[in-house]
Chain A
Amino acid sequence: MSQPALRKIIPIVPAAQPVGESLYEAHRKIYPRSVSGRFARWRWAFVAMTQLVFYGLPWLQWGQRQAVLFDLEARRFYLFGYVLYPQDFIYLTGLLVASALSLFLFTAVAGRLWCGFACPQTVYTEIFLWIERKVEGDRTARLKLDGAPFSLEKLVKKWFKHILWIGVAMWTGFTFVAYFVPARELILQFLQTKMGGWEIFWVLFYGFATYGNAGFLREQVCKYMCPYARFQSAMFDKDTLIVSYDPARGEPRGARSRQADLSALSLGACVDCTLCVQVCPTGIDIREGLQYECIGCAACVDVCDGVMDKMGYAHGLIRFTTQNALAGKWPAARMLRQVLRPRVLIYSAFLGVLCLALLWSLMARMPLKVDVVRDRAALSRIVAGGRLENVYRLQVMNATEETQRYTITATGLEGLAVASEAEVKVGPTESRWVAVRLQIPYGSAQAGSHPIMFRVGDESGHAHVEEKSVFLVPR
């Protein structure tokens, strides 16, 4: 009797001897066909919205200054009414965590919505493609033009397209820099040809990146560089909305006459027109199922619905659906009910709590910061009048845009008093170091280290900060 195998042995099938393909492939240029429809309109709405904000924000004024300005040299970030210090870094952390959670949430609910509609890579590619289409024509015309031998017309069209592209790219670079150098100053510097070296570098750098990414790299950024595609499977489940072809309805695919009665043919609804492949910005065939290249832009949904209209078939051969809905032939309502599943609820709860906390902390934020540093030289000294003195350096940071007078007090020990100037004037958005001397009557406290508390408050009493430190009494 043979011994039963403890473990199933799975032989590794060796690869056949190499013959064909290289590990590297020549890049095949993709000529996406223009598409119109419900989702295309959404995409253009997102392009308009995001770019209105991006290109417009540097021109918005808030009082005497730019509403949103990241002054790296002075280390102050201006956000509408707020003046943020490097110490406010926590808000950036919060923003990034909230962004990551939103991405998880949207991905769990509806896949790569971000990629298909709002990602700058998609948005700028869309803008550049629009220019390309206006100059060179749609897919067929572009294919023909690229295949045609060199001619004056080709030269003019190509040059014109690149000049327009570079124009948009440079304006994008300029806008980027205008978040760090006030836009109104920057344009003046530019007009007077007095722009600084670093400003020129960053305009060119960001402009060149835009030109290269949106004009040439396009879907390759998504396929080879962006990590999102690679970890999307960790955030997807069978209830995630994905752009999907319905093979049960579509197969067997095949061409047919428009007059033919579908029920009389042994064919599915797919007429195999390949339009879904032609419009795809990443060049895949959605009918092969979910692929990592799919950015969820739904261009194939729009174009297929158009074909279905022409054929007189129902919409939705390619549609936003879920794997469960597809397998179980669920109606839309049943599918949408699945949105309220634990994963989505947990992401939403985290996101909601974080957003509320961020909002609350911004509302409650004191426009004043204080840092207490004990003096580096003198631990403690005895001064005239038989008093014991400790010295501190206080960094007082004014996060308002007016000059403020702050009063410094200290508590925590009997008879503790501020012996130096207790009032300090700090200019708008400035930070000042002041030496503060604290005294107690000699002998009023035991030798050792005593916790004390500094309190710095403005005149109105609105802004006040408490900071801990220690008072040292020598033996």
Chain B
Amino acid sequence: MSDFTENFWSWYVAALTLIGIIGSLVLLWATARKKMPERSDNTTGHVWDEDLRESNNPMPRWWMWLFVFTVIYALLYLIAYPGLGAYPGEMKWSTRGEYEAAMAGAEKELAPLYAGFSAKSAEQLAGDANAMAVGERLFMNNCAQCHGSDARGSKGFPNLADSDWLHGGSPEKIKETLTLGRKGQMPPMAAAVGTPEDVRNVAQYVLSLSGGPHDSVRAQLGKSKFTACAACHGMDGKGNTAIGAPNLADDIWLHGWGEQAIVDIVNKGKINEMPAQAGKLTEAQIHLLAAYVWGLSNKAPAAKL
């Protein structure tokens, strides 16, 4: 527990502390023995500036015993708790220990609640307002940092509230994503596609898949080169959730829209990672979170439960 660089400092602090406490006691003892001259006008006899006199208004004796009590209390405290240099105290108390005890206590207290959640399916949980309220708080603390507090993500961070899924949107798949994490990987494909001109044509073709504004002539030229992409994204460009290949035929652009954005990705590839939560969250928490995320895009049927 010692945070001292050298043992000397531990002794130094301990000695200073004890000298301070004993010094207070000595001072108290000395003042308690001091006698003031008894005078009829009840002053100490000191006179300043001609006529300023100090009145003698003694403290009650029980007050002095309070001081003695504080000294005894301080010594007992230093025996029980850490305070004397590196000495950890007889009670072995530490902030870390208290934190761990509090966490263990909270876990024990929440165990029955989570046991109830774990016994239900994701579909049932999505219709349970209480479970969703707990799920929302978990989401806010653990997921919202990347996916946003409304779960709709932002550039590079997928929207969890729509029905577009990179790796599948069933509760089981979401649970798998949460537990193990995901690593989406698109290799640089420039060489496979062809010349820079070919790459631009492919980009135009990709834009055409979702029916957005595009150059139809170049898109037509790019179509034949798309075969290099079809291995993962499919001939129709609708992607493959088994390997996490995005659907290119919808109007959802996780890494940016437009020719330049697509050309960049084709040339440089893309690695995007969702970290595994298995070590951070308990299984019951992951189960509840999966249900919450599933419920975001499957509201209507579950609400009837």
Contact = CB atoms under 8 A, between A and B. Distances in A.
A21 B140 CA distance: 69
Given A10-B50, A381-B155, A25 B37 contact: no
A13 B61 contact: no
A377 B36 contact: no
B37 A378 contact: no
Contact of A20 (B35, B48, B64, B144): B35
Interface string B43-80: 01111111000001011111110000000000000000
A21 B149 contact: no
| Residue in A16, A19, A377, A383 with the greatest tally of chain B CB atoms within 10 Å | A377
B147 interface: yes
A191 interface: no
A420 interface: yes
A382 interface: yes
B60 A18 contact: no
Given A18-B35, A19-B35, A20-B37, A13 B150 contact: no
B83 interface: no
Nearest to B51: A10
Interface in A12-57: 12-13, 15-27
B153 interface: yes
| Residue in B31, B49, B60, B252 with the greatest tally of chain A CB atoms within 10 Å | B60
A25 B35 CA distance: 11
Given A10-B48, A20-B38, A376 B61 contact: no
Interface residues of B, number: 40
A393 interface: yes
A378 B60 contact: no
B38 to A, nearest CB: 3
Contacts of A376: 144-145, 149
A13 B63 CA distance: 30
Interface string B132-156: 0000000010001111111011110
A375 B148 contact: yes
B152 A21 contact: no
Contact of B44 (A15, A220, A391, A433): A15
B32 interface: yes
What 9 pairs across the A-B complex have the smallest Cβ distances?
A20-B38, A378-B154, A435-B150, A18-B35, A15-B45, A25-B58, A377-B148, A378-B148, A24-B61
16 contacts: A12-B48, A15-B44, A19-B38, A22-B33, A22-B36, A24-B58, A24-B60, A27-B61, A377-B146, A377-B148, A379-B154, A381-B152, A382-B253, A389-B152, A437-B150, A437-B152
Interface of B: 31-38, 44-50, 56, 58-64, 140, 144-150, 152-155, 157, 251-253, 257
